[in-house]
Amino acid sequence: MSARHEGPAVLSAFVRGVGLLGPGLPSWQSGAPVLAGAAPYQPCPTVLPAPQALPAAERRRTGATVKLAIGIAQQAVDAAAIDPVRLAAVFASSSGDGAICHEICETLATDDRQISPTRFHNSVHNAAAGYWSIATGATAASSAICAYDASFAAGLLEALTQIAVSGAPALLCAYETTYPEPLRAKRPAPDHFGAALVLVPAPQAGGLARITAQLSDAPADRMSDPRLELLRAGIPAARSLPLLRLLARRESGRAVLDYLPEQRLAVEVLGCP
């Protein structure tokens, strides 16, 4: 294992594909120029794609969270031109599917209490990971992690750690869907948002950048456009935006991402020529 050393860890990987879906950011292809500052940001509600990769019977059963996660994971995997079957995957989200949670809690608050079996198994935090595996035939390990507002950095840290230890590529898929009322009042978020990265251990033709992460005491970077900053601050998966901005510019630089109260995750980006 080459990554091990004494003292603070510094882990690297190469970004090979990106997936993006959020308000006014309908894909990485059309969102990257906006994040790079080359095109105007025009906010409009996030539109979730139907998960075409799933069999029709499964597709009918999926809610917003699964649609979002599979949509961005598929974008990133397509961009990376990588076979998902043996691709390890880290799914990071601060919550499961809010609509399903609401429906279950509403039913359980009545005398009837007969909840739908499909809703129940779709309520698990790893539902998106499970459907992704079914959709793509992926049999490699997949995880579903949560660190509340720190979920993106926690997911990135886990993906980089897996790559350092295994020497194999990994997919990071970070996503967040909105809660309906009355939960929304307790956990407000402006819209659905997701970002996915295919990360590989060694440089390959067509890669976007090398990223190197370490823990840091520096404050998290903000977005200069106040509307994008609203997304960053309001949606855990959008805490990725300062990193995505650098990747979109295809520039070298440093993005400090929100993580835990005591520390942030600083990511050095070295653009690939």
Partner 1 sequence: MRPLLVSRFTATSYIGRGIGETAASLRARRSGLVPCAFETVRLDTYVGEVPGIAQESLPGELERFDCRNNRLAQLGLRQDGFLEAVRESAGRWGRRRIGLILGTSTSGMLATELAYRRRDPASGALPPDFDYAATQNSYSLGDFVRRRLGLEGPASVISTACSSSAKAFGAAWRMIEAGWIDAAVVGGVDSLCLTTLYGFHALQLVSPAPCRPFDAARDGISIGEAAAFALLERAPASLDSGSILLTGSGESSDAYHMSSPHPQGRGAREAMEQALAMAHLSAADIDYVNLHGTGTPSNDAAEGYAVSGLFGPAVKASSTKGATGHTLGAAGALEAVICAIGLTQRLMPGSANTLRLDPELGLDYLCETRPDERFRRALSNSFGFGGSNCSLVLERAA
Which residues of the chain form contacts with partner 1 (CB under 8 A)?
Answer: 1, 3-9, 11, 94-96, 101, 104-106, 108-109, 113-117, 120-127, 129-131, 133-134, 136-148, 150-151, 154, 157-158, 160-162, 164-165, 181-183, 185-187, 215, 260, 262-263
Smallest gap from Cβ 107 to partner 1, in A, equals 8
With both helix axes pointing from N to C terminus, report the angle between 127-136 and 64-80 in degrees, rounded to the nearest 10. Answer: 50
The residue assigned the tokens 């060694």 is: 202
Query: Could you give the 3-state DSSP secondary structure of residue 194?
Result: strand
CA 71 to chain centre: 11
Distance in Å, CB of 58 to partner 1, minimum: 8
- Looking at the Cβ atoms of 74 and 123, the one nearer to partner 1 is 123
Nearer to partner 1, 111 or 226 (CB): 111
Whole-number minimum distance, CB 85 to partner 1, in Å? Answer: 8
Whichever of 43 and 130 has its CB closer to partner 1, that residue is 130
Q: Which is nearer to partner 1, 164 or 256 (CB)?
A: 164
Residue with smaller CB distance to partner 1, 31 or 95: 95
Q: How far is the CB of 268 from partner 1 (least distance, A)?
A: 16
Q: DSSP secondary-structure letter at 77?
A: H
Q: Which residues pair with 271 in a beta bridge?
A: 209
Rounded to the nearest whole angstrom, what is the least distance from the CB of residue 69 to partner 1 in the complex? 12
CB of 177 to partner 1, least distance (A): 14
Work out whether the CA dihedral 228, 221, 208, 81 comes out positive or negative.
negative
Task: Report the alpha-carbon distance of residue 53 to residue 123 in Å, rounded.
Answer: 20
Inter-residue contact 257 to 212 (CB < 8 Å) = no
* Cα 150 to Cα 62: distance, rounded to the nearest angstrom: 26
Q: Which is nearer to partner 1, 46 or 162 (CB)?
A: 162
Q: Which of 128, 233, 230, 242 is nearest to 174 (CA)?
A: 128
- Rounded to whole angstroms, the Cα distance separating 185 from 45 reads 19
From the CA atom positions of the chain, what is the Rg in Å? 18
Nearer to partner 1, 110 or 224 (CB): 110
Helix (H) or strand (E) holding 271: strand 264-271
Q: How far is the CB of 120 from partner 1 (least distance, A)?
A: 3
